[in-house]
């Protein structure tokens, strides 16, 4: 009986605590060990039991493994049914608070990485992209518009080109050093608005822009789908979104040397996220680049 399988899997306080956290976050084993303050072998044993019972899923990404609560199937229905019983328990609340700290630390580490390589970013990009003029490909697809936003603008190379097609341009990034470099490019140009913030909580109003681009940012995020949802929010009805992202790959150098959290994003996964966020796909274009990688451009419209 399915019900006995699920109840047996949750018949342990540690596994109940793990499920409570993984209902809200996708975490790698190291992060789970950190927040639970237990040995890795013990955590791995509990995760295996939960995975075997189909209450949690393991997503392999190169040499790393990420865990989250099951998204579908009978296991998900069971979790949805018991979720209200998890609210209010002090031990569960403490676990969620620790998980939030782990996420903040991860975000801070990513920010520090980009702060440290800001001056070298152009050179690093050229090593990966070779002859591909990705910014040119993006601009060629950008319509003339009133307001445009580069979400994860880095040091502002793309913003400068976007200004030729938009009356006002907004750049958002979470790394102050990157925004300082971007500001130095524009020397007080009134058309430019540089804002510090996270892509999961954009510092823009609903429907503030006509066009938005998210270029090679989503693979750095713990929850890329949230960023796409925010992109939908800040676009007017009929506004256009362009996403440039690495296709799924296995090159661990991108994680160790370039700070990537995920080794690209599977095309079908991206298409699903765009649809869920409220976008209608218009075109998909793929480019093979250096290091065995491929970049995919997704062009979509807010429905």
- Amino acid 163: pLDDT: 92
pLDDT for the residue numbered 122: 62
Smallest Cα–Cα separation from 140: which of 245, 238, 289, 283?
Answer: 283
CATH 3.40.30.10 holds for 2-87:
no
| Chain segment 189-220, per-residue pLDDT in tens | 778 999 999 999 999 999 999 999 999 999 98
pLDDT tens digit sequence for 57-77: 998 887 788 999 998 889 899
Tell me the average pLDDT of the chain: 89
Going from N- to C-terminal start, the domains of the chain cover 2-87, 120-302
Pairing assessment for the beta strands 235-246 and 64-69 based on DSSP bridges: unpaired
Q: Left (φ > 0), alpha (ψ -120 to 50) or beta: where does 238 sit?
A: left
**What mean pLDDT do residues 116-123 have?**
61
Average pLDDT, stretch 276-280? 97
**Contact predicate 78/6, CB 8 Å:** yes
- Residue 245 confidence (pLDDT): 97
Q: For position 202, what pLDDT does the model report?
A: 96
Contact status, residue 212 vs residue 151, Cβ threshold 8 Å = yes
User: What distances in angstroms separate CA 211 from CA 95, 160, 187, 300, 301, one per listed residue?
Assistant: 39, 15, 24, 10, 9
As a whole number of angstroms, the distance between CA 136 and CA 56 comes to 42
Tens of pLDDT, residues 30-60: 999 999 999 999 999 999 999 999 999 998 8
Higher pLDDT, 171 or 125: 171
Digit-coded pLDDT (tens) for 81-92: 988 888 888 999
**CA 165/CA 126 separation, integer angstroms:** 25
Cβ(281)–Cβ(274) below 8 Å = yes
CATH T-level topology, domain 120-302: Rossmann fold (3.40.50)
258 confidence band (pLDDT: 50, 70, 90): confident
3-state secondary structure the chain: CHHHHHHHHCCCHHHHHHHHHHCCCCEEHHHHHHHHCCCHHHHHHHHHHHHHCCCEEEEEECCEEEEEECCCHHHHHHHHHHHHHHCCCHHHHHHHHHHHHHHHHHHHHHHHHHHHHHHHHHHHHHHHHCCCCHHHHHHHCCCCEEEEEEECCCCCHHHHHHCCCEEEEEEEECCHHHHHHHHHHHCCCCCEEEEECECCECCCCCCCEEEEEEECCHHHCCCHHHHHHHHHHHEEEEEEEEEEEECCCCCCHHHHCCCCCCCCCCHHHHHHHHHHHCEEEEEEEEEECCCCCEEEEEEEEEC
């Amino acid at each position: 009986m399915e019900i006995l399988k699920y109840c047996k899997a949750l018949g342990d306080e540690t596994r109940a605590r793990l499920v409570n956290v993984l209902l809200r976050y996708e975490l790698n084993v190291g992060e789970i060990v950190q927040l639970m303050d237990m040995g890795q072998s013990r955590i791995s044993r509990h995760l295996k039991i939960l995975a075997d019972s189909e209450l949690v899923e393991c997503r392999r990404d190169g040499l790393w493994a990420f865990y989250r609560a099951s998204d579908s199937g009978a296991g998900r229905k069971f979790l949805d049914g018991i979720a209200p019983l998890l609210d209010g328990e002090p031990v569960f609340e403490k676990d969620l608070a620790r998980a939030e700290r782990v996420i903040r630390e991860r975000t801070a580490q990513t920010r520090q990485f980009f702060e440290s390589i800001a001056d070298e970013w152009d050179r690093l990009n050229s090593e990966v992209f070779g002859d591909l003029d990705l910014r040119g490909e993006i601009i060629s697809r950008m319509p003339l518009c009133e307001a445009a936003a580069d979400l994860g603008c880095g040091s502002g190379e793309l913003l400068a080109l976007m200004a030729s097609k938009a009356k006002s341009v907004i750049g958002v990034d979470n790394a102050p050093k990157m925004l300082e470099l971007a500001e130095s490019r524009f020397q007080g140009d009134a058309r430019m608005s540089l804002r510090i913030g996270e892509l999961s909580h954009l510092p823009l109003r609903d429907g503030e822009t006509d066009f938005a681009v998210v270029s090679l940012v989503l693979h750095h995020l713990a929850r890329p789908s949230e960023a796409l949802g925010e992109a939908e929010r800040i676009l007017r009805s009929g506004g256009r979104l362009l996403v440039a992202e690495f296709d799924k790959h296995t090159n661990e150098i991108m994680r160790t040397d370039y700070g990537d959290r995920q080794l690209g994003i599977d095309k079908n996964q991206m298409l699903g996220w765009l649809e869920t966020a409220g976008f209608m796909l218009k075109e998909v274009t793929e480019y093979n680049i250096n290091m065995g990688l491929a970049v995919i451009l997704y062009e979509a419209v807010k429905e």
